[in-house]
Amino acid sequence: MAEIEQRIEENEERLRLAIETTQLGTWEWYPLTGKLNWSPECKRIYGLDPDAEVDFSVFADHIVPADKDMVTDAIEAALDPDGGGNYDVTYRIIRFDDKSIRWIHPKGKVFFNKNRQAERFIGTVVDISVYKAFEDSLRENEQRARLAIDAANMGTFDWDLTENRFFSSTRLLEIFGFGENEEDVSHTDLIGRIHPDDKAVRDRAVKDALTEGGLEYEARVIWPDQSVHWVRVYGKLSENSEDEIKRMYGIAMDITEEKSQEAMLQRIVAEKTLSLMQSNQELKKSEERYARMAEEVQDYAILLLSTEGIVLNWNKGAERIKGYKESEIVGKNFRIFYRPVDQQDKLPDRLLHKARTEGRAMHEGWRVRKDGTTFWGSIVITALHDDQNNVIGFTKVTRDLTERKLAEDKLQQYTKELEAQNKELEQFAYIASHDLQEPMRKIQTFTEVLDKNIDEPAVARKYLEKINSSASRMSQLIRSVLEYSRLSVTYTVMEPVDLNTTLENVKTDFELLISERKVEIRSSGLPVVKGVPLQLHQLFANLIGNAIKFSEKNPVVEISARKITAADPPPYPGLRAGEKYTEITVADNGIGFDQKYASKIFTIFQRLHGQKAYPGTGIGLALCKKIVENHYGAIGVESEPGKGTKFFVYLPDNPPGSEPAAIQPGV
């Protein structure tokens, strides 16, 4: 023992010297950014130049493969926010320069930020190859010593195979359950104590030992009190060629305690494994059932999306509703189901964002099928989370509600039409009660006055004339109202109308007035539009008639037209964006009016001027508005007193219910 102590002392002294001559390297690592700094000494230990670049792979790639797991475990333990953050490990590296293997001993400490994330990991490192060599020799010595101490608890045997004599120590007999006083315990007695189930193990081990030299087995022995004890036996075959004696000597130890712990562990592991396997199988079954169910559902498109919105699976409903086969769509972004305008508007991204932040996003809107047709979809996107509440994907359920939507739209359209008709009826009631009554009232009143003056022919004639003019005004009003009411008949057939022809026809109508008032009508190459020829004639007649009527000098009427492309913003409130329109302008040099009356002048029976100065029914512009609306267009006006008036008419190139526009001459 004194010799061992002396050697330990010697070794320790040499170790101290070795450490003194060994420089301490320092290092720091920032796990969040991956940044790694090594001191020059640290690099020297690895056989690197002091100014060499280092990164994590330099560190990881030079661990001796056999030590890699150990180092990884140590780092993981240190990075665990619930641990102490300490790192202390000894392992081998392969140096860069000479590829020699060195033992190093880094020690470190991890600093966590307030989010419990490992932020900074710093430490030192020493090359302990010298130390390690001595430590190993130390350990060997220690092991020898322990062996000696443990020997007390071991039974020993010596088996002369040549003579078949078996010597066993008292401890060995104890291990096999024989009492202190029992003598003459034979080898057969000992073997007899071995558990019947383990006899074969022992026999095989002995047989192998005779050919290979080493004996090692574990077996149960049954003591007389029926208690079961585990025994481990080591032995070595010794062949002496000189005296031809074949011996096997060895030890046996009681490992019952070790075994019972192991057995318990094994049982726990086995139980755990079994229950895991069972629940796994159940989970698999329910997953399968669920997957099959989702697959078979036809009325809903049920799909899984990745966090980026990539389609991961597809069901029958999705195929039925959207028209894609599974192989055509899996791996594509779900954006493809949205109209270009919605994609531009980032609707799919917004829905995904909402689902990510709020857990769920619901939406109804037009979606695009594979063949380009659209359907009205009602969708729910739900975020899927892992145990740490991270979003790992989404489910998306889509229903095709096109039929419902169309029915709703139709209903809304009917309601709108009904409302409009109602409003029109109200206006007609107003006309009937008010404007049509006025000439009637006058006829009645003047008849009475005429009656009073029936004996004075001159006075009587005056009132007869008044009666007559009231009657003709009444018939003019009735005619206009009739004309206006005829416009209420929708579903008129639209056809290409050359506005140049229309204008010529109107000019012919006004021939007399034009020459009397010396009217100048200017126009240049008007386009062909889609419309009802008679209505467009009425429109031009009213606008041009108005321009002539409300003018004090020689009227100049200028008619022009220009195209408004789909890219232009809607030219007038209420018109549709992305639609092509023709803008027709009718400008005059007449008396004009204050712009504040602009909206009033299109109302039926609204007049800005006295009957005496500018006679009229108050229906003309209401008629124009009605005609333009029948053509799905709009009419507007710009005016200033004394500066003339400009009417703008907007007619769509492709009004609903008409064939696509034919080739039209340029404007």
Partner 1 sequence: MVYFFVDDDADDQEIFGLAIAELDGTATCRFANDGLEALEALQDESFTPSLIFIDLNMPRMNGNECLAELKKLERLSKVPIFIYSTSSDPKLIAASKALGADDFIVKPSGFQALTEILKKLTQ
Q: Where do contacts with partner 1 occur on this chain (CB under 8 A)?
A: 430, 433-435, 437-438, 440-442, 444-446, 448-449, 452, 466, 470, 605, 607-612
Q: Give min distance, CB of 594 to partner 1, in A.
A: 10
Beta carbon nearer to partner 1, 414 or 597: 597
β 520-523/556-564 pair status: parallel
CB of 433 to partner 1, least distance (A): 7
Closest to partner 1 by CB, 99 vs 612, is 612
**Is 445 or 560 the residue whose CB approaches partner 1 more closely?**
445
Q: Which is nearer to partner 1, 239 or 594 (CB)?
A: 594
Q: Residue 437 Cβ, how far from partner 1 at the closest point, in Å?
A: 6
| Closest to 252 in 3D by CA, of 278, 218, 228 | 218
Nearer to partner 1, 599 or 611 (CB): 611
- In terms of CB distance, is 421 or 611 closer to partner 1? 611
Nearest to 318 by CA among 399, 395, 383: 399
- Are the CB atoms for 476 and 469 separated by under 8 Å? no
Output 267 or 452, the one with its CB closest to partner 1. 452
Smallest separation, CB 605 to partner 1 (Å) = 8
Residue number, 347 or 443, with CB nearest to partner 1: 443
Contact 210, 264 (CB under 8 A): no
Between 310 and 608, whose beta carbon lies closer to partner 1? 608
Task: Single out the residue of 585, 541, 582 nearest to residue 665, CA to CA.
Answer: 582
User: Shortest gap between Cβ of 660 and partner 1 (angstroms)?
Assistant: 46
Question: Are the CB atoms for 425 and 325 separated by under 8 Å?
Answer: no
Chain-centroid distance, C-alpha 546: 60
| Identity of the residue, 214 or 642, whose beta carbon is nearer to partner 1 in the bound complex | 642
Check if the beta carbon of residue 89 is closer than 8 Å to that of residue 114: no
CA distances (Å), origin 337, targets 312, 321, 328, 365: 14, 11, 13, 11
Q: Which is nearer to partner 1, 94 or 608 (CB)?
A: 608
Q: Residue 50 has which token pair?
A: 């002091």
- Least distance to partner 1, CB of residue 440, Å: 7
* Nearer CB in complex with partner 1: 290/430: 430
Cα torsion 174, 176, 182, 183 to 10°: value is: -110
Please report how close the Cβ of residue 576 comes to partner 1 at its closest, in angstroms: 35
Decide the pairing of beta strands 228-240 and 214-222: antiparallel
Q: How many DSSP H helices and E strands does the chain contain?
A: 20, 22
CB of 425 to partner 1, least distance (A): 15
CB of 452 to partner 1, least distance (A): 8
Identify whether the C-beta of residue 260 lies closer than 8 Å to the C-beta of residue 165: no
Tokens representing residue 397 in the block: 């359920």
> In the bound complex, what is the minimum distance in angstroms from residue 464's beta carbon to partner 1?
14
Q: Give the whole-angstrom CA distance, residue 322 versus residue 412.
A: 27
Of 120 and 607, which has the nearer Cβ to partner 1? 607
> At closest approach, how far in Å is the CB of 549 from partner 1?
14
- Residue 435 or residue 579: which is nearer to partner 1 going by CB? 435
Q: Is 478 left (phi over 0), alpha (psi -120 to 50) or beta?
A: alpha
Query: Would you tell me the crossing angle of helices 499-509 and 533-549 to the nearest 10 degrees?
Result: 50
Burial class, 497, CB count within 10 angstroms (exposed 0-12 / middle 13-18 / buried 19+): buried
CB proximity list for 399: less than 8 A, separation 6 or greater = 299, 300, 301, 321, 377, 378, 379
Min separation Cβ 645 and partner 1, Å:
16
Q: What's the min distance (Å) between Cβ of 525 and partner 1?
A: 38
Answer for the pair 595, 639: CB distance below 8 angstroms, yes or no.
yes
Instruction: State the Cα–Cα distance between residues 560 and 583, nearest whole angstrom.
Output: 8
- In whole angstroms, how close is the CB of 542 to partner 1 at the nearest point? 19
State how far the Cα of 145 lies from the Cα of 249, in Å rounded to an integer: 20
- The strand order across the sheet containing 360-368 reads 300-305, 391-400, 374-385, 360-368
How many CB atoms within 10 Å of residue 118?
A: 19
